Amino acid sequence: MRRMALLLALVLSTTLVVIAAAPAGQAQSARQARLEKQAAEKRQKDADLWVTRTLAKMTLDEKIGQLLFSSINAAYLSTDSDEFERLRHLVRDLKVGGFHVFGSAEALPQVMLNPVWGGGNAARKGEPYSAAMILDRLQSESAVPLLTSGDFEGGAAYILHGATRLPRAMVIGATGDEQMAFNAGVVGATEARAVGVNIDFYPVVDVNNNARNPVINLRSFGEDPALVSRMAVAYIRGIQSTGAFATAKHFPGHGDTNVDTHLGLAVINHPRERLDQVELVPFKAAIAAGVDAIMSSHIVLPALDPTPGIPATLSRPILTGILRDELKFSGLIFTDSMTMDAISKMFSHDKAAAQAVKAGVDFVLHSPDDDAAFKGIKAAVAAGEIGEAQVNASVERILRAKARLGLHVNRRVDPAGIAAKFGTRAHAAVAQEINDRGITLIKDERNQVPLAAPRDANVLYLSVLDYASGWREGIPSRTMIPELKKRWANLTTIEVTDRTTASEYELIRALAKRADAVIAGVFVRIASYSGRMDLSQSQIALLDSVAAQNKPFAAVCFGNPYTATFLPKLPAVLLGYEFSDFTERAAAKALAGEIPIGGKLPISLPGMFPIGHGLTRAAK
């Protein structure tokens, strides 16, 4: 009895201690929450005060300068150079509002008889430390903090060496998993911020419903507005979770065009009702999700603005009437690059900049001539074509964006963060998982995927390239070949391009007859300014003849997924959608049966398969 009384007393005392501790713990939590709220309110008050004071002391010229968003190349640049002096002029004299980060470029000679060259510039990836140091120097030169941006559609590695090459949107759409979109947004924005870039010009929210779209294509999440909306919102939230800004592009929709606006002016003739049902749906979702910025498109839409030849970038009915007034978007509006032929070949640089601002943009992005753009806007303000109230409203939005990013407190770039956050194993694992899950098996008529060939089989691998030059992402099959060789040691590899001769085609056919199995990696690009997105008839004929042999065969289409529609006779076709080491590795694993195959088409393949089609295979 005494023992039971002691036990009961112990239980009661323990209960009293817990009861007594609970209010103390709750009080501590409440106090911490109150302190955090007070700190947040103070930060907001300080930011508001900075915006008010900064705006009040700016001259009209300084305000106009804020509307210009110039660019840098991420290549080594001496402070004692003509190019840095030009950038310093933009910061000190024009007072530009920000800079966009490109990779680097190599000038090409204008010569005949060499198909590799042809004039212009060859795009190259840039160096992250160079980007960080140039941005840091420019930030130190600028009276007002600079906003910075990058087209990190495939992650920072799309532009800069050493970062993680994420898949573009269509791979993510093929997974059907919003968590994959969120994770990609986190990785891309984390690496962007490490080099001092605070605005990601992503995601592309265009609905790609035109199989001959030469510039959007796999940059889109897909053909279904609902799928595009879900994935875009998840990607936006991933970017924003790092403190960076996300950008929805290209308003009001670039998915149903067959003209590359880098090369010409595209027109979409759909009525407003159709635009509301398709093109505008993801933009409305992005705005509802709180997207920070929207980029305009250089596309003419007569249903939204009947003025002949005026693209959305220069249209007040579209950017102010629809985007601002109707859709209630209150964030930043960027033009697309003003160097694109759809603008630069149709309008003078000064008039284009002025008309874009008049239309309602906050930032004139990448003008061919920032000085001319400045003069054009200033002249339009002086003439009363652009009201000072509109300029003030844009500049206030810009300053508030800079304050939200904390740039009024700390604008400097710490290069130490690059080594810690760029190209990490954890980020690589995210990229690999998305690519693995995006692999889509659309045909397997002989039930030979995974490849029905023993590990000691003689396997022929054909690396089929649309054309041989201009591979800024790295040479195709550089990962596919060693990954296949790990699994099939007796591997013979051949590259087939637009330069392959008739006699070489005959040699390939002869080798295919002697092989036990054949794998084809088909690489067809969607690239700005190229105007190309097909295989040659000779390449198609080769694949058809090799596949007709009675032996295991599988083709993997990297890049343009609509390539499959050129190859209806092939018995087994997988889609990888992308160009990257991660995509090639995923394809090799899928062919070997090491990962399950479960991707679903986020687009329809005309004459072949509907949206959502995709065969499934379990891992062996």
Which whole-number Å values give the CA distances from 145 to 196, 385, 398, 400, 495, in the listed order?
12, 28, 10, 11, 50
Q: Helix, strand, or coil here: 225?
A: helix
Q: Which residues contact 312 (CB under 8 A, 6 or more apart)?
A: 251, 252, 296, 297, 298, 299, 300, 301, 304, 305, 318, 319
Residue ranges, CATH 3.40.50.1700, the chain: 439-591
* Bridge partner list, 544: none
Q: Give the separation between CA 216 and CA 436, rounded to whole angstroms.
A: 22
Give dist(CA 9, CA 15) in Å, integer: 10
Whole-angstrom distance, CA of residue 311 vs CA of residue 417:
40
Radius of gyration of the chain measured on its C-alpha atoms: 28
Cα(172)–Cα(234) distance, integer angstroms: 11
The count of C-alpha atoms lying within 13 angstroms of the C-alpha of 95, restricted to the half-sphere facing its C-beta, is 13
CA contacts within 13 A on the Cβ side of 88: 12
What's the confidence (pLDDT) of residue 1? Answer: 44
Annotation says 46 is catalytic: no
**pLDDT, tens digit (0-9, with 9 covering 90-100), for 142-179:** 999 999 999 999 999 999 999 999 999 999 999 999 99
Q: Looking at the domain that runs over 147-418, which CATH code has it been given?
A: 3.20.20.300
CB of 211 closer than 8 Å to CB of 222: no
pLDDT in the model for residue 32: 84
Please, which contacts does 405-408 make with residues 24 or more away whose CB atoms are closer than 8 Å? 405/147, 405/198, 405/243, 405/245, 406/243, 407/145, 407/146, 407/147, 407/198, 408/47, 408/50, 408/54, 408/145
* CATH numeric code, 439-591: 3.40.50.1700
CA distance 152 to 159: 7
Q: What's the CA gap between 315 and 305, in Å, rounded?
A: 7
Token look-up 């990785």 returns: 187
Domain with CATH 3.20.20.300 in the chain: 147-418
Q: What is the pLDDT of residues 29-82, one digit of tens each?
A: 888 888 788 888 888 999 999 999 999 999 999 999 999 999 999 999 999 999
- In a 3-state reduction of DSSP, which class is residue 584? helix
CA-to-CA distance for 534 and 522, rounded, in angstroms? Answer: 11
The residue from 250, 262, 408, 427 that is catalytic is 262
Question: In terms of DSSP bridges, do strands 104-107 and 121-124 run parallel, antiparallel, or are they unpaired?
Answer: antiparallel
What is the tens place of the pLDDT at every residue in 267-278? 899 999 999 999
Q: So what's the pLDDT on residue 38?
A: 85
Averaged pLDDT for residues 602-606: 97
298 part of the active site:
no
Distance (Å, rounded) from C-alpha 90 to C-alpha 371? 8
Which one of the listed residues 224, 260, 336, 370 is annotated catalytic?
336
The DSSP 8-state label assigned to residue 93 in this structure reads: I
Sequence-ordered alpha helix ranges (H) in 488-568: 502-514, 537-547
**What is the pLDDT of the chain when averaged over all its residues?**
92
pLDDT for the residue 61: 98
pLDDT in tens, 97-122: 999 999 988 777 878 777 666 556 67
The pTM of the full predicted model, rounded to 2 decimals, is 0.92
DSSP 145: P
